[in-house]
Amino acid sequence: MTTDGWGSQLTTRVAEQIRRHRKAAGLTVAETADACTARGLPVPKTTITNLETGRRSSVDLAEFLVLADVLGVPPITLLFPLDTAPTVDVLPGQPVSTWNGLAWFTGETASTEAAPKGSPRELLDLFRAHGDAVAAARASTSLAKERRRMANTTLDPARRTELLDAATGYEQFAFDDCRALGAFRDSMRERGLVPPELPADLAFVDQSKASSKDTE
């Protein structure tokens, strides 16, 4: 396959997904164009129509991202439609399963060895691990609060004791998870990295560290 042929095939795949998700969202071409304009990047109706009908052989990256947002889908699903295409050509003449193509694109390709520190793959893995730490801290914190809330609203003494015991256990898990998250974020900063902003319910993880430094 020539480079031009591969490029056209790639655009066709993206265009098919744009049309598919636009119809699934119940949007007309005009409504889609208006929504793009509302997001700060006008994409004319003729551009969308020409893409969907194959009269346009390329798609601008900015248009691609705005259209994905308008359609309410992750941009990557327009490139790698897991539910409709069993294989894709990730490069000219290089067909792979759609999942393997997606994993290659996002840096999730399986590896038996740790990525070298500072490499693009290692940074991806690091930020994904941070996401896992955030998820763990949110889950344990939420469970602790819920058990405490339930204990404070029940009128059954035995049930209250049971829930308070459970709350105490979850609170310890939450404390450990939040402390681990804070340490993880500190290690990222020591490397000169900027950790992602914490969700509002975990903002105290950074605030408590800032308060500790102020009192030192």
pTM confidence score? 0.76
- In this predicted model, what pLDDT tens digit does every residue of 67-104 receive, in sequence order? 999 999 999 999 999 999 999 999 999 999 999 999 99
Q: pLDDT band at residue 212, thresholds of 50, 70 and 90?
A: low
Q: Tell me which of 106-120, 122-136, 181-195 is least confident.
A: 106-120
Percentage of the chain exceeding pLDDT 90: 70
DSSP assignment of the chain equals: --HHHHHHHHHHHHHHHHHHHHHHTT--HHHHHHHHHHTT----HHHHHHHHTT------HHHHHHHHHHHTS-HHHHHS-TTT-SEEEEETTEEEEHHHHHHHHHT----SSPPPTTSHHHHHHHHHHHHHHHHHHHHHHHHHHHHHHHHHH---HHHHHHHHHHHHHHHHHHHHHHHHHHHHHHHHHHTT--PPPPPGGGTHHHHHHHHHHHH-
Return the pLDDT at 207.
86
Query: What pLDDT score was predicted for residue 213?
Result: 55
- Which tops the pLDDT comparison, 144 or 69? 69
pLDDT per position as a tens digit, 7-46: 999 999 999 999 999 999 999 999 999 999 999 999 999 9
